[in-house]
Amino acid sequence: MHILAALALGVLFGVGILISGMSNPAKILNFFDVAGTWDPSLAFVMGGGLMVNFIGYRLALARSKPVLMQAFELPTATQITPTLMGGAAVFGIGWGLSGFCPGGLIPVLAIGGGKPWIFLAGLIAGILAVRAVRARQALRPTSA
């Protein structure tokens, strides 16, 4: 049941990305081009997403437990760390340069040309690089 629910929600998200036009990298890049062909529609999509998320969290957390799980699994980290800031910066730079967001990339892979696949390769390379650095750091002896 969990897999079917995840699939249904993923399809709903993908359809929303396609309907809103957020699968078009030019639409994203035009949002960042405030001195040229600026397109503010991304701000409305983001605002709508934030509003739905805000309401959804309020409704979900009012329950004693989730519908399909035994307990809520909420993030516990509360600090803003250099790793978080660096990851956010790399995410923003990649999004601004390519026009692709990892979540919006998935529905585009089926209908797009080569550029989404190039972005996906870069995304996977970045994930593997971070994992390699973390593994190397874990092997370092700690100094007292």
Please provide residue 90's backbone torsions phi and psi, each rounded to the nearest 5 degrees. Answer: -65, -40
Asked whether the beta carbons of 38 and 31 are under 8 A apart, the reply is yes
pLDDT under 70: residue ranges of the chain: 112, 143-144
Alpha-carbon span 124 to 94, nearest angstrom: 13
Mean pLDDT of the chain: 87
pLDDT at 59 (0 to 100): 94
What pTM value is reported for the model? 0.68
Per residue in 6-35, pLDDT (tens digit) is 899 888 888 888 888 888 888 888 888 889
pLDDT at 144 (0 to 100): 56
pLDDT at 143 (0 to 100): 65
pLDDT at 91 (0 to 100): 85
CA distances from 20 to 13, 28, 32, 36, 45 (A): 11, 11, 17, 21, 7
pLDDT at 137 (0 to 100): 85
